[in-house]
Amino acid sequence: MAALAYNLGKREINHYFSVRSAKALALLAVLLLAACHLASRRYRGNDSCEYLLSSGRFLGEKVWQPHSCMMHKYKISEAKNCLVDKHIAFIGDSRIRQLFYSFVKIINPQFKEEGNKHENIPFEDKIASVKVDFLWHPEVNGSMKQCIKVWTEDSVAKPHVIVAGAATWSIKIHNGSNEALSQYKMNITSIAPLLEKLAKTSDVYWVLQDPVYEDLLSENRKMITNEKIDAYNEAAVSILNSSTRNSKSNIKVFSVSKLIAQETIMESLDGLHLPESSRETSAMILMNVYCNKILKPVDGSCCQPQPPLTLIQKLAACFFTLSIIGYLIFYIIHRNAHRKNKPCTDLESGEEKKNIVNPPVSPLEILLQSFCKLGLIMAYFYMCDRANLFMKENKFYTHSTFFIPIIYILVLGVFYNENTKETKVLNREQTDEWKGWMQLVILIYHISGASTFLPVYMHIRVLVAAYLFQTGYGHFSYFWIKGDFGIHRVCQVLFRLNFLVVVLCIVMDRPYQFYYFVPLVTVWFMVIYVTLALWPQIIQKKANGNCLWHFGLLLKLAFLLLCICFLAYSQGAFEKIFSLWPLSKCFELKGNVYEWWFRWRLDRYVVFHGMLFAFVYLALQKRQILSEGKGEPLFSSRISNFLLFISVVSFLTYSIWASSCKNKAECNELHPSVSVVQILAFILIRNIPGYARSVYSSFFAWFGKISLELFICQYHIWLAADTRGILVLIPGNPMLNIIVSTFIFVCVAHEISQITNDLAQIIIPKDNSSLLKRLACIAAFFCGLLILSSIQDKSRH
């Protein structure tokens, strides 16, 4: 009864809400969100620096998240590179001195806070040619004015960055009197024009006063109240913002430290000075404001202008625009022709004439329609991760953000289960299910930032290895059973694997190796193909006639393993092979192939393990050693129970080892050899019991069919800043944002999967002569792409 109700309910849902209607809803959501963000940008301004300097929130105890953009954590080398030949000046009281120390420690962590606190403090890194000075001027008075006035003279070298601020000393010395506030206003009014003049050539920041924790203040500081601080801040903002009559002030008000202090001032030792972590955050914000536009870090979207379109991107935009126009023209012509062919009523007989059969859809129409849809989807990709339209945020890992979604999808996966069409080991439904749940776990891993938690990282490494295991198993099985080594099969696989990535490399201006998993599976597919296609070609049909062929195949696999071991332990030879042109254009990242060598080496044996498993399994299946009937255990009861016990123990042993990892480098070194243990354990646990082989999760299997698209699309339309951050479509509501962005992301991935399948049928025809012509056109396209890429690289340098 429950099963009947479930099936009826599912049919009812499918009747009213199909994949097509979901995509229409996703399109509507994108248009509405784009319009809202565009209107918000026009109303509130498009300067993310203002957001960085004025708003944000804490994601955790010490992780600051600016509103709408991502903040980069600068390393020593990056800071020095940005500030080379630069002079930065901090002017103010003890709070500004704290900010000075935290800023300098980004450049030189060994710099000590020592010496007379009430005097100027210089810092210079002669190697990096960086100079940072603190000038002691605790009050906004004539002394501070004179210091600033000197810099306005043409003959004097001006600092590149000036950070100023003061008020608490004025409150303290004058006992919080109203006369002191009036004098403060007069003094800052006289200084404002000088700062405005400096701001034309230098970056000038006025730091507002942070709140105090009144309960901790000493008796001689009790007059410094938050009410007084607010009054001084209001005066400073009002005067500085009105320092120019007809235009916006160039002086940047640094008010974000107030928000930081409101959350952390309780940790202060004296109620006045901020704890070290808060000062470090403010210093890092200053570094982002100045350096992001210079170094352009991927995960530092604050204060970064939109990157200019490259020549290849412009050509791609023209191509997609022409495709959209072409399809619209084709559609209008086709619609008019369809109207003319509509059945009409015979006036004499009163009967309707027979319908004229619609002609089949032409390949040209499918081609134009596919590129039209792809063009619109690529526009969304660009808006999400290149244009400054949608917002981005940094990731922040907590155990709940990873494990709660995992539990949720597992419940859904178990709920949506169906009977398999066949009960063989690793049947199609089961492999789709396997890919599906693994992909969902990997997606949650990426968006939650769980890579910082080593036990989770090690388990995710096994899931990536399992994908490659399936690559070895699936392609070996196909070639071994069917013996189809034709060029059509190879081109079909290569097209389906690489089409989306090639388009993204063009549209998003990223190297091929950036999407590392696709190069990985592509190279391993070619390795499998070459291993089996080279003489002597050994397939199952030939091996069944003579058992010696099995031995010959094992020799081939042994030689492949030998080659893998050689390349794994000979980095020089590996780099020489993949540094050859044009391979270097595909596998280089940041000017070298180290990243590619690291990725390949991390899972170097697992494809071989997949091939070997396929060979052993198919050999046992051919000799009818396995029982693959519905509901039957794979082996006899005794052997099945024994293998199940061994598998469970092995599975748990690996998990215990992975969870106890302390050093990522050491665990990565062992991973290639031991990851197969958990993979094989899972396969046996999933396939030995007959009832487990007879059912599968249709929920996971649905995602498994689009797993490749999900993996690639997440880079730009679910995550942000090339996976470093999170895309924010709906600010202020993280849960709703994840729901909406995930819904659009999944719809887009599904549509791209269909587009890829449609184009594969047209671009890769079965007729060899036609296929060779298409391949010649594809080769010409890539040659043109290489030439344009070389021109771009020269213009950049």
CA 471, CA 477: separation in Å to the nearest integer? Answer: 10
How many angstroms separate the Cα of 28 from the Cα of each of 16, 25, 726, 744?
17, 5, 21, 10
Q: Provide, rounded to the nearest whole percent, the portion of the chain with pLDDT above 70.
A: 94
- CB atoms < 10 A from the CB of 61, how many? 8
Question: Over 80: is that where the pLDDT of 348 sits?
Answer: no
Grouping H, G, I as helix, E, B as strand and the rest as coil, residue 130 is: strand
pLDDT, tens digit, for every residue of 240-261? 988 666 567 889 999 999 999 9
Q: Provide, rounded to the nearest whole percent, the portion of the chain with pLDDT above 90.
A: 81
How many angstroms separate the Cα of 385 from the Cα of each of 73, 80, 299, 402?
20, 28, 11, 24
The pLDDT of 81-89, averaged and rounded, is 96
pLDDT, tens digit, for every residue of 692-750? 999 999 999 999 999 999 999 999 999 998 899 999 999 989 999 999 999 999 999 99
Angle, CA 608 vertex, CA 602 and CA 613 arms, to 5°: 125
Place of tokens 């396929």: 614
Q: Are 420 and 427 in contact (CB under 8 A)?
A: yes
Question: Over 90: is that where the pLDDT of 354 sits?
Answer: no
Comparison of pLDDT for 39 and 42, the residue scoring more: 39
Comparison of pLDDT for 324 and 10, the residue scoring more: 324
55 catalytically annotated: no
- Predicted local distance difference test score (pLDDT) of residue 350: 47
The pLDDT of 415-424, averaged and rounded, is 93
DSSP letters of 222-248? TT--HHHHHHHHHHHHHHHHTSSSSS-
State the catalytic residue, choosing from 54, 94, 177, 451. 94
How many angstroms separate the Cα of 518 from the Cα of each of 222, 513, 595, 648?
64, 8, 14, 32
CA 45, CA 39: separation in Å to the nearest integer? Answer: 10
The pLDDT of 539-563, averaged and rounded, is 93
What's 391-411 look like in SS3? EEEECCCCHHHHHHHHHHHHH
- Predicted local distance difference test score (pLDDT) of residue 182: 95
The pLDDT of 175-185, averaged and rounded, is 94
270 catalytically annotated: yes
Question: Over 80: is that where the pLDDT of 9 sits?
Answer: no
- Tokens at 179, concatenated: 């006369």
The pLDDT of 297-302, averaged and rounded, is 90
At 631, the pLDDT band (50, 70, 90 cuts) reads: confident
How many angstroms separate the Cα of 373 from the Cα of each of 324, 347, 759?
8, 43, 12
The pLDDT of 398-405, averaged and rounded, is 95
**Strand 121-125, strand 391-394: pairing:** unpaired
- Predicted local distance difference test score (pLDDT) of residue 245: 62
State the catalytic residue, choosing from 37, 72, 87, 273. 273
Identity of the residue numbered 167:
A
- Predicted local distance difference test score (pLDDT) of residue 352: 47
- Predicted local distance difference test score (pLDDT) of residue 333: 86
Q: What is the pTM of this model?
A: 0.92
The pLDDT of 72-100, averaged and rounded, is 95
> What value does the mean pLDDT of the chain take?
91
67 catalytically annotated: no
CA 406, CA 410: separation in Å to the nearest integer? Answer: 6
Q: Tell me which DSSP letter residue 727 carries.
A: E
State the catalytic residue, choosing from 270, 484, 767, 793. 270
CA 129, CA 41: separation in Å to the nearest integer? Answer: 39
At 114, the pLDDT band (50, 70, 90 cuts) reads: confident
Question: Over 70: is that where the pLDDT of 345 sits?
Answer: no
Grouping H, G, I as helix, E, B as strand and the rest as coil, residue 117 is: coil
Q: Which of 66, 120, 121, 93 is nearest to 287 (CA)?
A: 66
Q: Tell me which DSSP letter residue 592 carries.
A: B
At 4, the pLDDT band (50, 70, 90 cuts) reads: very low
Q: Which of 685, 714, 705 is nearest to 750 (CA)?
A: 705
- Predicted local distance difference test score (pLDDT) of residue 2: 46
Q: Which of 166, 174, 164 is nearest to 210 (CA)?
A: 166
Which of 356-360, 626-630, 678-682 comes out lowest in average pLDDT?
356-360
pLDDT, tens digit, for every residue of 582-595? 888 899 988 889 99
Question: Over 50: is that where the pLDDT of 326 sits?
Answer: yes
- Predicted local distance difference test score (pLDDT) of residue 677: 96
CA 86, CA 431: separation in Å to the nearest integer? Answer: 58
pLDDT, tens digit, for every residue of 126-172? 998 999 999 999 999 999 999 999 999 877 889 999 999 999 999 99
The pLDDT of 277-281, averaged and rounded, is 93
Question: Over 70: is that where the pLDDT of 13 sits?
Answer: no
